[in-house]
């Protein structure tokens, strides 16, 4: 009976974790660029009650094994990196990646993060920053921007650690010095930031790069719409948008959350029933133990 009690407890824990994940998904249904998560279970440990035996010709037949399980456990909590729709905002510095890829940002400590949330602004110093104040990275006009296909920068090594391998120059924080000297600043689909100077000539000031991640499932959620490289992401490489499998940029909008409320509500009901069933196991085992204790009366 105690085995069933432990199985019920493990089921309660597993379903509670799944409900926590569902609750977080629903809470972020309107969070720009949020990627939903899912929980999977696996069985735990089995005690062999009877080992299998081989048949002996003309003497005895073979027997199968008999085992008793000890419940369930959370096997994985996966992030579903499916692309989501475009939400218009009519703000020129809001950017949507129309395809694969991540923006690269750098916080005050110099750490690099990856995000699909393109809610950007120019600050008073001409830096392109996100809503957390992190600096958006790319290539400045000091580099040769005549051929965007030359922009390539490895940001991690094969194990997902800090990189900086061969590529088309260093990735830099995007800063447009003398921002007030330009007008009609535009962010184009290829990532180029162009503007008219005082002589009304169009100048290319910088390129916002987009990073490809070979194994998106290995990205580590850091909060604030950020991901960091994990040990199994592979080599993360930055390119100009639209090249090497990355999506082009669409200004004036942001990526919506990919949470499917219908799916979350149905999962919530199933999880609730699973939790109730496991709690019933504990109640029934408790009643059986009570009967056993009362047998001596």
Domain spans, the chain: 2-80+259-294, 86-255
Supply the pTM of this predicted model. Answer: 0.87
Task: Give the per-residue SS3 of 71-93.
Answer: CEEEEEEEECCCCCCEEECCCCC
* Choice among 40-54, 119-133, 174-188, 269-283 with the minimum mean pLDDT: 174-188
Cα–Cα distance between 48 and 40 in angstroms, integer? 25
Q: What contacts 227, CB < 8 A, 6 or more positions away?
A: 102, 113, 114, 115, 219, 220, 221
- Per the CB < 8 A criterion, the answer to whether 194 and 188 are in contact is yes
Q: What is the DSSP letter of 216?
A: G
For 17, 19, 117, 256, the CA distances from 38, given in Å and listed in that order, are: 10, 10, 21, 18
* Choice among 41-50, 109-118, 156-165, 236-245 with the minimum mean pLDDT: 156-165
Q: What are phi and psi of 82, to 5 degrees?
A: -75, 150
Q: Which residue has the tokens 């719409």?
A: 225
Query: Nearest to residue 130, comparing CAs of 97, 103, 92?
Result: 103
> In the prediction, which pLDDT does 267 show?
97
Residue, of 55 and 277, whose pLDDT is higher: 277
pLDDT tier at 24, thresholds 50, 70, 90? very high
Q: Which pLDDT tens digit goes with each residue over 90-138?
A: 999 999 999 999 999 999 999 999 999 999 999 988 899 999 999 999 9
Q: Which residue has the tokens 């992030």?
A: 79
Mean pLDDT calculated for residue range 51-60: 88
- Per the CB < 8 A criterion, the answer to whether 198 and 183 are in contact is no
Mean pLDDT calculated for residue range 60-78: 91
Q: β-strands 172-173, 220-223: how paired?
A: unpaired
Q: Which pLDDT tens digit goes with each residue over 245-272?
A: 999 999 999 999 999 999 999 999 999 9
> In the prediction, which pLDDT does 140 show?
84
The three-state secondary structure class of 157 is: coil
Q: Which residue has the tokens 């390129």?
A: 207
């Amino acid at each position: 009976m105690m085995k069933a009690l432990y199985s019920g407890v493990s089921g309660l824990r597993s379903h509670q974790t799944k409900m926590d994940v569902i609750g977080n998904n629903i809470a972020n249904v309107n969070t720009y660029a949020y990627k939903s998560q899912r929980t999977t279970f696996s069985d735990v440990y089995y005690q062999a009650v009877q080992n299998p035996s081989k048949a002996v010709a003309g003497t005895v037949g073979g027997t199968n094994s008999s085992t008793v399980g000890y419940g369930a456990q959370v096997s994985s909590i996966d992030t579903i990196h499916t692309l989501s729709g475009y939400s218009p905002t009519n703000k020129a510095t809001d950017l949507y990646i129309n395809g694969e890829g991540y923006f690269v940002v750098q916080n005050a400590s110099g750490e690099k993060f990856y995000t699909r949330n393109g809610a950007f602004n120019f600050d008073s110093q001409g830096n392109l920053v996100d809503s957390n104040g992190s600096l958006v990275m790319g290539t400045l006009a000091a580099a040769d921007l005549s051929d965007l296909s030359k922009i390539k920068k490895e940001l991690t090594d094969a194990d997902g650690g800090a990189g900086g391998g061969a590529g088309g120059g260093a990735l830099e924080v995007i800063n447009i010095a003398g921002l007030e000297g330009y007008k009609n600043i535009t962010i184009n689909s290829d990532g180029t930031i162009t503007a008219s100077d005082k002589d009304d000539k169009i100048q290319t000031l910088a390129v916002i790069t987009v990073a490809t991640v070979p194994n998106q499932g290995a990205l580590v959620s850091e909060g604030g719409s950020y991901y960091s490289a994990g040990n199994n992401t592979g080599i993360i490489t930055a390119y100009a948008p639209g090249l090497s499998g990355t999506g082009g940029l669409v200004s004036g909008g942001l990526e919506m959350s990919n949470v499917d409320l219908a799916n979350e509500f149905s999962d919530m009901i199933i999880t609730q029933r699973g939790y109730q069933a496991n709690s019933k196991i504990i109640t029934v085992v408790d009643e059986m133990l009570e009967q056993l204790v009362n047998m001596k009366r």
